[in-house]
Amino acid sequence: MKNGRITVKRTFIALLLVTASAGLQGRSQEPDYGSIDGILAALYGSIGCGPGRPPRIEVLRTLYLPEARLVRMTKDGPNRMDLDGFFSSFLDRIRKGDIQTFVEEEIARRTEAFGSIAQVFSVYRKGMNTAKPEEFVRGINSLQLINDGRRWRIVSIIWQDETLDHPIPDIYLIK
């Protein structure tokens, strides 16, 4: 009977380890702050939201310099925000129900870097309150980043959605 108990205990421990491992895999890991790829992956991986899945503001906040500027280009001109203003507006729109789901993913990127500075044109496709890809829009995030010797941080981001008057040039759609 002792061997039976050992087998049951080993099986139970194995199940606990598998369950714990699966739970850890479901969690997002710490962003890779040491690479531009890591910063962009964390940016796109944290902004999305849906029912029971809020955006990961605490992760997004760590990607930027505290004094970062965010600018959304609209048909009426630039909408300038600081970090707190952007997050407050975004979360307020979610609370009001204006944003129920939001998906944004990178589809192409052009990066230029010199030393500790980088400029990234990141082409995205995004959908708000839809899961239908044909209803998604495209645009460009223009990011400026610095590396302080330890990690990369976003200094500013300017974005503009594509329109019929302003289609994305083919040069930015090359992967």
**Contact present, 115 and 143 (Cβ < 8 Å):** no
What integer is the mean pLDDT of 41-54?
Answer: 96
Residues 6+ apart with CB under 8 A from 152: 33, 34, 35, 36, 38, 39, 118, 145, 146
Q: Domains in the chain, please, with CATH?
A: 36-172 (3.10.450.50)
CA triple 105-158-70, angle to 5 deg? 100
Largest CA distance in the chain: 78
The alpha carbon torsion through 125, 128, 52, 36 (nearest 10 deg) reads 30
The token pair that represents 154 in the structure block: 């976003």
The token pair that represents 84 in the structure block: 């707190």
**Contact present, 120 and 40 (Cβ < 8 Å):** yes
| Phi and psi at residue 76, to the nearest 5° | -90, 0
Looking at residue 23, what is its pLDDT? 35
CA triple 41-162-74, angle to 5 deg? 100
With a pLDDT cut of 90, the percent of the chain lying above it is 80
The band of 52, judged by pLDDT with boundaries at 50, 70 and 90, is very high
Looking at residue 8, what is its pLDDT? 39
The band of 174, judged by pLDDT with boundaries at 50, 70 and 90, is confident
Round to whole Å and give the CA distance between 21 and 105: 27
What integer is the mean pLDDT of 110-134?
Answer: 96
Q: Environment class of residue 152 by beta-carbon count within 10 Å: exposed (0-12), middle (13-18) or buried (19+)?
A: buried
